[in-house]
């Protein structure tokens, strides 16, 4: 029945029988102006939020049922509930079309019952609209194959063969059918500006506000600080609409092949003088496609509070809201979490289990508080605060769990290394790699442990876990060795590309503030490492830190750094009893007093106003 519903929609737009997108007809298909659905609501008593379905239709249905908004037949039972889908219905899984059809039906059923269904655009909706199809599963294309006749595919191949803009020799028919599988062309038509799913998605907002909460797919970065919600959902969304409408028109006029990849547009536009192609190129540079876009920005999930919290407060204040609900970034232990002083709710629990090893999750927001329904569960549970994590933990371990393995895990392997011994440690079926370095002197002989403990006190999340442990009767430090890292030298060389969840310049500034606090010497490129998966900066090389001079290191004298308000509060806390007790176990009193003196300098004054001294490469800027 759902397939019949979407087929009727396609027929109403003429896409089942029309080959307008494929054969380059001179006639331009008329495109009805896209209306915007409302994006601000007040006085809503019950909200359910779900994100990142990614074609996992059965898991999606089970999650909706757990949240009590649909019954066993997927009919709406949510009454006056507002259901919010926080982006990424599409890609990776095979059954995204079924989920879109379900939501299109539920929109009407919910409205009739006094509730509402909202869909907020995610980056994967954006990608399908603009022709970036890297993550479309074959099953997703196959769901459209019934609307794609052999004549449509023949016309598409004929156009490919005679296309003058095609790079290189034409594909053989077998190669063409493999690259553009059955359903590909009907899929492109359906997501065009005139297609059933394209028109539906282009109505949707980039940011939704209900009561005091914003719903945005990826996050809120500083680029949005100067924009209002009408600007985000008006101008920014308008640029997307214009882009998709131009794609549709250019394909209809035969100037652009529907197989053209989004990333090939700049080269095609640069090669021609057509004003429509030039406008398409301009829109290609829209902020909606940039890392700072609300559909792509990961800083709310990936940056530590010392970077993100104060500026998030300012953005939320400017947008008149208390907090934001985001998806996009799969969560620790595939659970729903609160973070950044409850201003961010992370709800991407990895619903597509085959890809993310997660589960469906439905966040419930009521006046009485927050809770979450997990796929297949009978009741809601509380939303917990995400604990601080340090130095790229492995195997979804909390810091305390990793520390316990380092301190007492069974040594199942050991080998010599220049600085000590490489260890393989095992506990409760989990293995981690670590480095043992023997202690070299008196009480201040554990600088790596001191750096890690200070990282935890500040919630820096950059220094790998380190503990004191004796090996063969020799006291020393056992420090976790995270896997999947590259050095700063490798990053600068460009041999390995990383996409940092937290902007790299922000992480570099955080590193410099930390080095100013601990009195560290300039770091070598080997002492700055990056996670290949998240771009997180990992810091080693603290053996020369924690000197007894109260002065800020000279190499940072002109680094242009200034701690924010949260930094200042954390610096003040280092004189507290608990901090003193932790640090005096691994530092001498003179080292600790020098640390406090540097902290007072940093907290009391704007540091180093003359400007940055580090090179652009060292600061991680392009």
Buried b or exposed e, range 207-244, using 16+ CB within 10 angstroms: bbbbbebbbbbbbbbbbbeebebeebbbebbbbbbbbb
Cα gap 296→121, rounded to integer Å: 11
Sign of the C-alpha dihedral computed for residues 307, 309, 310 and 316 taken in this order? positive
Question: What total of structural domains would you count in the chain?
Answer: 3
Strand partners, 410: 426
Mapped onto helix, strand or coil, the DSSP state of residue 248 is helix
pLDDT-derived band at 251, boundaries 50, 70, 90 = confident
* Residue 614 is assigned to a structural domain of this protein: no
* Residue 167 is assigned to a structural domain of this protein: yes
Cα gap 374→475, rounded to integer Å: 46
**What's the mean pLDDT in 517-546?**
92
What's the token pair of residue 83?
A: 């259901």
Cα gap 42→105, rounded to integer Å: 24
Cβ atoms of 71 and 104 closer than 8 Å: no
Are residues 32 and 142 part of one domain?
A: yes
- Name the residue range of residue 199's domain: 2-385
This prediction's pTM: 0.89
| 430-438 vs 466-471, strand pairing mode | unpaired
Highest averaged pLDDT of the listed ranges 148-162, 359-373, 594-608? 359-373
* Residue 59 is assigned to a structural domain of this protein: yes
The answer, yes or no, to whether residue 19 has pLDDT greater than 70, is no
How much is the pLDDT for 444? 59
pLDDT-derived band at 556, boundaries 50, 70, 90 = confident
Are residues 511 and 378 part of one domain?
A: no
Are residues 507 and 361 part of one domain?
A: no
Instruction: Give the residue among 413, 400, 452, 497 at the shortest CA–CA distance from 587.
Output: 452
Higher pLDDT pick, 581 / 164 = 581
Cβ atoms of 239 and 288 closer than 8 Å: yes
Cα gap 508→511, rounded to integer Å: 5
Are residues 408 and 346 part of one domain?
A: no
How much is the pLDDT for 405? 95
**What's the mean pLDDT in 541-552?**
93
Are residues 265 and 185 part of one domain?
A: yes
pLDDT tens-digit map of 48-82: 999 999 999 999 999 999 999 999 999 999 999 99
Are residues 529 and 437 part of one domain?
A: no
| 116-119 vs 82-85, strand pairing mode | parallel
Cα gap 453→579, rounded to integer Å: 9
**What's the mean pLDDT in 269-288?**
86
Are residues 174 and 58 part of one domain?
A: yes
Are residues 495 and 403 part of one domain?
A: no
Higher pLDDT pick, 301 / 558 = 301
Rg of the chain, C-alpha, whole Å: 27
How much is the pLDDT for 387? 82
Cα gap 124→140, rounded to integer Å: 13
Are residues 261 and 380 part of one domain?
A: yes
How much is the pLDDT for 592? 97
Instruction: Give the residue among 343, 480, 344 at the shortest CA–CA distance from 423.
Output: 480
**What's the mean pLDDT in 239-267?**
91
* Residue 218 is assigned to a structural domain of this protein: yes
* Residue 44 is assigned to a structural domain of this protein: yes
How much is the pLDDT for 394? 66
* Residue 464 is assigned to a structural domain of this protein: yes
* Residue 174 is assigned to a structural domain of this protein: yes
**CATH number reported for the structural domain that contains residue 119 in this entry:** 3.60.21.10
pLDDT tens-digit map of 78-137: 999 999 999 999 999 999 999 999 999 999 999 999 999 999 999 999 999 999 999 999
Cα gap 321→327, rounded to integer Å: 18
What's the token pair of residue 282?
A: 């301009």
* Domain boundary residue, one of 337, 362, 385: 385
Largest interatomic CA distance in the chain:
84
* Residue 612 is assigned to a structural domain of this protein: no
Strand partners, 407: none
Are residues 152 and 79 part of one domain?
A: yes
Q: What percent of the chain has pLDDT over 90?
A: 74
- How many other C-beta atoms can be found within 10 angstroms of the C-beta atom of residue 58? 13
Are residues 404 and 352 part of one domain?
A: no
Are residues 357 and 231 part of one domain?
A: yes
E strand spans, 194-251: 207-210, 213-216
């Amino acid at each position: 029945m759902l397939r019949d519903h979407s087929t009727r929609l396609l027929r109403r737009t003429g896409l089942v029988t029309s080959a307008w997108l494929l054969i380059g007809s001179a006639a331009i298909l008329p495109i009805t102006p896209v209306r915007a659905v409302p994006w601000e609501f007040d006085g809503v008593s019950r909200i359910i939020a779900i994100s990142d379905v990614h074609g996992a239709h059965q898991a999606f249905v089970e999650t909706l049922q757990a949240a009590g908004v649909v019954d066993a037949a997927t009919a709406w039972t949510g009454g006056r509930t507002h259901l919010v889908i926080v982006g990424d219905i599409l890609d990776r899984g095979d059954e995204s079309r079924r989920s879109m059809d379900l939501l299109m039906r539920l929109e009407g059923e919910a409205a009739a019952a006094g509730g509402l269904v909202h869909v907020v655009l995610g980056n994967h909706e954006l990608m399908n609209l603009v022709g970036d199809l890297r993550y479309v599963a074959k099953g997703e294309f196959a769901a459209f194959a019934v609307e794609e006749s052999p004549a449509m595919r023949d016309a598409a191949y004929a156009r490919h063969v005679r296309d003058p803009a095609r790079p290189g020799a034409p594909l053989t028919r077998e190669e063409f059918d493999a690259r553009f599988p059955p359903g590909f062309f009907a899929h492109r038509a359906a997501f065009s500006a005139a297609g059933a799913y394209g028109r539906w998605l282009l109505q949707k907002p980039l940011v939704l506000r209900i009561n005091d909460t914003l719903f945005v797919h990826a996050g809120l970065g500083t680029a949005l600080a100067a924009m209002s919600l009408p600007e985000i959902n008006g101008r920014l969304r308008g640029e997307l609409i214009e882009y998709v409408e131009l794609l549709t028109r250019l394909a209809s006029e035969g100037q652009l092949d529907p197989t053209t990849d989004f990333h090939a547009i700049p080269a095609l536009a640069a090669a021609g003088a057509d004003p429509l192609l030039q406008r398409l190129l301009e829109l290609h540079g829209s902020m909606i496609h940039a890392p700072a876009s609300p559909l792509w920005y990961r800083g709310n999930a990936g940056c530590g509070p010392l970077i993100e919290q104060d500026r998030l407060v300012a953005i939320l204040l400017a947008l008149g809201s208390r907090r934001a609900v985001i998806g996009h970034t799969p969560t620790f232990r595939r659970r729903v979490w609160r973070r950044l002083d409850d201003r961010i709710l992370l709800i991407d629990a990895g619903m597509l289990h085959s890809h993310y090893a997660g589960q469906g999750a439905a966040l419930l927001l009521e006046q009485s508080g927050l809770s979450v329904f997990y796929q297949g569960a009978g009741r809601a549970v509380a939303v917990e605060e995400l604990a601080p994590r340090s130095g790229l933990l492995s195997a979804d371990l909390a810091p305390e769990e990793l520390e316990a393995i380092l301190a007492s895990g069974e040594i199942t392997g050991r080998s010599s290394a220049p600085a000590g011994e490489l260890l393989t440690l095992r506990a409760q079926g989990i293995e981690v790699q670590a480095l043992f370095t023997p202690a070299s002197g008196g009480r201040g002989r554990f600088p790596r442990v001191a750096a890690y403990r200070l990282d935890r006190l500040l919630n820096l999340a950059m220094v790998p876990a380190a503990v004191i442990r004796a090996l063969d009767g020799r006291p020393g430090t056992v420090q976790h060795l995270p896997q999947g890292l590259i050095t700063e030298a490798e990053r600068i060389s460009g041999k390995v590309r990383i996409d940092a969840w937290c902007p790299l310049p922000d992480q570099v500034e955080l590193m410099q503030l930390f080095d100013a606090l601990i009195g560290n010497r300039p770091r070598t490129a080997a002492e700055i490492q990056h996670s290949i998966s998240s771009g997180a900066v990992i810091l080693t090389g603290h053996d020369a830190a924690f000197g007894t001079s109260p002065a800020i290191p000279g190499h940072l004298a002109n680094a242009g750094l200034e701690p924010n308000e949260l930094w200042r509060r954390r610096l003040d806390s280092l004189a507290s009893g608990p901090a003193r007790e932790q640090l005096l176990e691994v530092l001498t009193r003179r080292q600790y007093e020098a640390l406090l003196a540097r902290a007072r300098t940093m907290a009391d004054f704007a540091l180093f106003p003359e400007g940055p001294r580090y090179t652009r490469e060292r600061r991680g800027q392009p």
